[in-house]
Homo-oligomer: A and B are copies of this chain.
Amino acid sequence: MVNKTKEVIFYHAGCPVCISAENSVLSLIDPATKVRIVHLGQEKEKIADAEKAGVKSVPALVFGDEVLHINFGASLNDLK
């Protein structure tokens, strides 16, 4: 049985790629999973958390110790 994930953080920066990926990802994820959406353009203080989690670009999904970079919207360095 694949390990069921309970909380996921979706990091983005409001870019067009981010918005379309957000809609797609939300339509795919198990409804039982809690998705926290973080807009790094508006919540700059969260960039350090994202970087610590291994995020290199946005949009990205973080859950447990895994990072899924989805398509390519912007590099994390460009958001600093």
User: By the criterion CB–CB under 8 Å, are B27 and A28 in contact?
Assistant: no
- In the bound complex, residues from chain B placing their C-beta under 8 Å from that of A63 are 24, 28
Interface residues in A, total, Cβ within 8 A: 26
Q: How far is the CB of A3 from chain B (nearest CB, A)?
A: 6
- In the bound complex, residues from chain B placing their C-beta under 8 Å from that of A26 are 2
A27: which of B2, B23, B72 is its contact (CB, 8 Å)? B2
A30: which of B20, B31, B71 is its contact (CB, 8 Å)? B31
Q: How far is the CA of A19 from the CA of B29 in the complex (A)?
A: 19
Q: Looking across the interface, which residue of chain B has its beta carbon closest to that of A5?
A: B27
Tell me the A residues contacting B by CB distance below 8 Å: 2-5, 8, 20-21, 23-31, 33, 61, 63, 66-72
